[in-house]
Amino acid sequence: MALSHSNPKFFQFWFVTLIALVSATQFVSGNFYGLIDPIWGQDHMQYQDGGNILGLSLDRTSGSGFQSKFEYLFGKITMAIKLVSGNSAGTVATFYIASPGENHDEVDFEFLGNQSGSPYTLHTNLFAQGKGEKEQRFFLWFDPTADYHNYTFLWNPYQIAFLVDDIPIRVFRNHMAAGIPFPHDQPMRVHCSLWDAEAWATQGGLVKTDWSLVPFIAYYKDFIADACIPEYAPNNNCDWGSSWTSWYNEQLDVSQQYDLKWVKDNYMIYNYCTDYERTFPDGYPPECLLS
C-alpha cells in the first residue's frame, strides 16, 4: 500500500532518513511531525499543510507548546512566525532555546500581545548558568500578524545574535575571559508556546485578555536548525570550527552593524544596561560596561 503524504508516520520516516543523510553537516529542516514533540496542550495544536505549518491555540482552558526532538550546541536556528492578529492583549507567543536544570542557559524571543491598533512588544532575554535579567525590548517595523517573518538565533563561540528577517536587533558577546557567563557547553532544545500572561504582558498587566475573542492562534513554519547536534557529532564534540560550516565563526559585517544601530536608535524601547533606577542582585551587569 502506498504511503500517503498526509500520514504522520511518513514524515517521521522521512525525518529519520534525513538525519541519517545529513548527520555530518547537522542541517535539520522539514515537517513538524518529525521535528518536534508536543509538551503541553496537544489538543490545542493545529497541523496544517500536511504538517508544514503548526498553529498554537490559546483559550480559557489551555495554551499549547512544543519542543524540538534534538538538542543543539551552537548553530543558526530560524523559525517563521505569524503572530496572533487583532486584540492579542494578555497573550505571549514564544520562540526560544533552553537547556534543562537550575543553572540552565536560555535565549528568548517573547512576543507580548497588545490591543488592536497598538504594536506588539518583542521581549528578548538571555540566561547563562541560571542567571538572566538581561532584558531588551523592541517594537517591530512591520505588522507581525499580517504575514510570516523569520526570527533567528545565531549562536557560536563568539556571540549570540538575535535577528529578525536577517536584520540583527541584539548581540550578546562572549566575555568569558572577563568572568562573564556565556552559553557555551549546555545543549539547548528549541521551544515554542502560546500562553496566557495577562497579569503582566500588556502594559504591565493593566490591559487584560478579552476571552470573548478565543481562540487566539499563532502560526509557526519553516523551522531550520543549521546546528550541531551533539549526539550526532564526532565524539559528541561540537567544537569543530569553520571547516564544517560558515556560521561557526560568523560575526556581524559592517552593513549588519549599521542595521543593528538603526534598530537600537529607532525601535528599542527598553535596555537593562541603561535602566539606572533598577537594582540588580549581583550589581550592575559587567557586560554592559564591555559592550
Which of 106, 133, 250, 277 is an active site residue?
106
Which of 71, 102, 110, 133 is an active site residue?
110
Residue whose C-alpha is closest to residue 217's, from 52, 77, 78, 47: 47
Residue whose C-alpha is closest to residue 287's, from 174, 149, 164, 123: 174
> Which position has the grid cell 498553529?
55
Q: How far apart are the first and last CA of the chain?
A: 61
Catalytic residue list contains 110:
yes
Q: How many Å is the Cα radius of gyration of the chain?
A: 19
Give the dihedral sign, CA 109/160/33/41: negative
**C-alpha 229: how far from chain center:** 17
SS3 182: coil
Q: Which positions are catalytic?
A: 106, 110
